[in-house]
Amino acid sequence: MELVIKQSIKFKGERLIICRAKKPKNDHKINEYIEGATKIFVGGVPTGTKLSEFREHFSKCGTIKESSLPLADGSNGQNKGHGFITFEEPSAAKEAVKNKKFHELRGKMVT
């Protein structure tokens, strides 16, 4: 890698700038529970999923205080493919994040 960084490489007449990737500002990994959190982000939600179905699925982990499935612009009611769940207790949020095996909605695994 050091050899590539030191080289002057051109592509279609333009000099390419090659450098090391920067460390992400947020050190949290996806699917990692942050102690004390009650709100979780859920990605990969099938677009046809209804809010009631989404909420019912995650209620298996504990009492839900709030839930949302943002709608895509001009989507005719289709969600953006992600949502949020806020649980009453941090233990329920922790359970939802740690127990990945049962998170399947409409035949698709969600994260």
Residue 48 lies in a domain: yes
Residue 8 lies in a domain: no
Residue 22 lies in a domain: no
Residue 17 lies in a domain: no
Question: Residue 56: what pLDDT?
Answer: 94
Question: Residue 26: what pLDDT?
Answer: 56
Question: Residue 23: what pLDDT?
Answer: 63
Question: Residue 52: what pLDDT?
Answer: 94
Distance (Å, whole) CA 37 – CA 93: 7
Amino acid at 47: T
Distance (Å, whole) CA 51 – CA 45: 11
Question: Residue 3: what pLDDT?
Answer: 73
C-alpha count within 13 angstroms, C-beta hemisphere, residue 93: 21
H-run or E-run covering 93: helix 90-98
Tell me the residue range of the domain where 64 lies: 32-109
Residue 14 lies in a domain: no
CB proximity list for 5: less than 8 A, separation 6 or greater: 18, 19, 20
- List, as one string, the DSSP characters of 48-91: T--HHHHHHHHTTTS-EEEEE-PBPTT-TT-B-SEEEEEESSHH
Give the CATH number of the domain where residue 70 resides.
3.30.70.330
Q: What is the largest CA-CA distance in the chain?
A: 60
Residue 27 lies in a domain: no
Tens of pLDDT along the chain (111 residues) come to 677 677 777 888 888 777 777 665 555 555 677 888 999 999 999 988 999 999 999 999 999 999 999 988 776 778 899 999 999 999 999 999 887 767 888 888 888
Residue 102 lies in a domain: yes
The three-class DSSP label of residue 29 is coil
Residue 21 lies in a domain: no
Count of domains in the chain?
A: 1
